[in-house]
Amino acid sequence: MKFSLSWLRRYLDTDASVDAICDALNAIGIEVEGVEDPAAKLSGFRVARVLTAARHPDADKLQVLTVDTGSGEPLQVVCGAPNARAGLVGVLGLPGAVVPANGLQLKKSAIRGVESNGMMCSTRELELGDDHDGIIELPEDAPVGTSFAEYRGVDPVIDVSITPNRPDCMGVYGIARDLAAKGLGTLKPVPAVNVAATFPCPIEIRTDDPEGCPAFYGRVIKSVRNGPSPQWLQDFLKSAGQRPISALVDATNYVMLAYGRPAHAYDLAKLTGAVVARRARDGEQVIALNGKTYALDAEMTVIADTVGVHDIAGIMGGEHSGCEESTTDVLLEIAYFDPERIARTGRKLNLTSDARSRFERGIDPTFLDSGLDILSGLILELCGGEASEIVRAGAAPSTPKTVHFDPDLTERLGGVAISPQRQQAILESLGFGVVAEEAGFDKRWIVTVPGWRPDIDGGPDLVEEVVRIHGIDEVKSVALPRADGVARPTATPAQRLERRVRRAAAARGLHEAVTWSFLPVAEAEHFADGEVWTLANPISEDMKAMRPSLLPGLLSAARRNLDRGAKGLRLFELGRRYLRGGSGASDERLALGLVLAGEKSPRGWATGKAASFDAYDAKAEALALLAEAGAPVDKLQVMGEAGAQFHPGQSGTLRLGPRTVLARFGMLHPATARQFDLEGPVALAELFLDAIPARKSASGFARHAYAPPALQPVTRDFAFLVPSSLPAADLVRAVQGADKANIVAGRLFDDFRGAGVPDGHKSLGIDVTLQPGEKSYAEADLKAIADKVTAAAAKLGATLRG
């Protein structure tokens, strides 16, 4: 929210500087995002008088002017404005000045052979208006030679960020109230405006939706003369980032920005019959002031007449009934709308406005009459006319909220001792009513909450008000108590798992990526096994669905890096994927995704061509990281295809049994690669860390003391003939389990198919590691173990190769 210093001083009697005001705003919780100084943009521009004007010798539409700048000898300036003439007082940009509208730096130059020492400026060039038909014309008595910024009286503009719980500060008056409570000046009272009604309201006004619109007030002002608003009003609106439109529209915007009180003006000639606040009908449509058509439903409140809808209540008016220059009679509407209804309607229509941002936060329900009188008085002042009586349909919530408050709570919660007298003064300066509670509770108060503070619900909220005005910097920094000795770990098992796996992935040469949790719907559906979560109010259409997998984000990151010249990529991400639970609730699951793309190793004299990643690389990474996560990798089985996103025949899943899938890995399907605009082979894997069974040991991942065996291990090699369809991992697993007391490891070292191997078979070489215990193996011991290995392999159809 933006406002000028002069606008603030309209309600706050203060001599404080801009810096002091900004420091105070930050101290009381109203964050200052920036300060703009329009005077800086106008430096180098002076009030100047045209002494002579003669036709340019080589251009019919240009004139050569001599201009008095009040600082010695007149300057020669070439000008093409049709209103340039001798005697005109305007604004001259001197060499070195920068034109605000286009950033052009002025300099002494020759135009068609004639020297020009600057430029006479229009209002558009100085960003003071839209007029570009001629140069600015100032009054005859304007002081020549004076800085134009000083002459015009521009002042700084303060930009603040208002948190959602402070609707009272959505108007400049509310900010002035807070600054006055801080001690930066005296708050001026809201002007009391008495508008004399000269005739009954000629139009029926009512509310047929008391839940969505409890109160709907209105009055007619006839015989108005609409046109441009005065300069002071335009300057105020421009400082707030608003574009002046006309006196009628500017008046409603002024009341909204000044007091946080949205209102609306309808052209009475465009209304038919009664004006009613009601529920919309399913399928009704309205063209809003932004020129867009919106489809409505029965959950939305609208303002309508007997013909149709004219206003999306509390959010935006309709195009049809807006005020124009020809408007002579207006209906002023000021209402109280249910904040939740406004918020739901705005989200459903994806429509934001200044009015919505105030109504959904909660406006002061007691400011209806005062707001309507202020708006009526301003319109009568600017446009003339006569006002009707006020029609009041319904009533806004009028019972004030009260809070029982103990002043001692401030020290207990806020950590700072403040006297009860000081606390009472602070609360009363913010508009709260404070009286002592009866029945013997002489230390307790009954605090009446003003209507503009709907965020106050209890004692802690009042503590916050007292402490922020007193000064948060007065709260001393006190360390939390700490027990003696080594601090106990605070990380949860899930947090320790994430840290361990993240470190392991980085140690293996993978680079961590952090991608959005949102995806385009098409990408999310491509990687989802069921229905995806979609957002009602996404950041953009490309971020509308919650990710069901980490792989789409990593694939997009890989594409961006490859497009920028990366040769090889090893990316991983540890995060949550979002699924729909059985009851429709969100189901968040921890996962790790990894993508291997580009060159696995560069070309070289020893290696020849550059090597690419394959499915075995993804499998190796998945197994290593699962082992680090505590999964029983020696019991995992490779089963089935990994999904439609993976290349058939070049992918698989790692499972504990047929149902528990711990990971999927393989090569990216060519169709998926085309969808993500990726070229070349891409290997990828996804680890479902939430599916890893918990360890039975209470010790968690604590390491046991290292106790090396007393005797050296023994290795034996076995070569088996097996059917070609038998997975090598199944044979290795069978061999390892043949004698668990002696066999500690088994490893495939050879896969041969060719001469000497029958058709439909393959030869698999297994390296078996044996670990003796108390004594070395005898020949009979080794033969017994070998027999067990051969028997276990035979159960899979394997025979020992001769």
Residues comprising the binding site? 455, 461, 464-465
CA–CA distance, 63 with 78 (Å, rounded to integer)? 6
CA 724 – CA 794 distance, rounded (Å): 15
Structure tokens at 245: 């439109």
Q: 51 in the Ramachandran plot: left (φ > 0), alpha (ψ -120 to 50) or beta? A: alpha
Cα–Cα nearest to 126, from 39, 229, 42 = 42
Under DSSP, is residue 528 helix (H, G, I), strand (E, B) or coil?
A: coil
Q: Which amino acid is at 80?
A: G
User: DSSP string covering 650-688, please?
Assistant: EEEEEEETTTEEEEEEEEEPHHHHHHTT--S-EEEEEE-
DSSP secondary-structure letter at 450? P
- C-alpha to C-alpha distance for 759 and 168, rounded to whole angstroms: 85
Contact 375, 332 (CB under 8 A): yes
For 371-420, give the secondary structure using H, E and C: HHHHHHHHHHHHHCCEEECCEEEECCCCCCEEEEECCCHHHHHHCCCCCH
Please return the burial class of 771, using the count of CB atoms within 10 Å of its CB with bins 0-12, 13-18 and 19+: middle
**H or E element in which residue 715 lies:** strand 714-723
Residue with tokens 């309508």: 304
Total length of the chain: 802
CA distances from 758 to 42, 727, 771 (A): 92, 17, 34
Could you list the residues known to form a binding site for Mg(2+), using ranges: 455, 461, 464-465
> In this structure, which long-range contacts are made by residues 122-130, counting pairs with CB atoms below 8 Å and at least 24 apart in sequence?
122/81, 125/99, 125/100, 125/101, 126/42, 126/45, 126/91, 126/99, 126/100, 126/101, 127/41, 127/100, 127/101, 129/234
DSSP annotation of 475: S
**Angstrom distance (rounded) from CA 453 to CA 165:** 9
What's the gap between Cα 11 and its chain centre? 33
- Written as six digits, the tokens of 677 are 């605009």
- Calculate ∠ Cα 321-537-587, nearest 5°: 155
Backbone torsions φ then ψ of 497, nearest 5 degrees? -60, -45
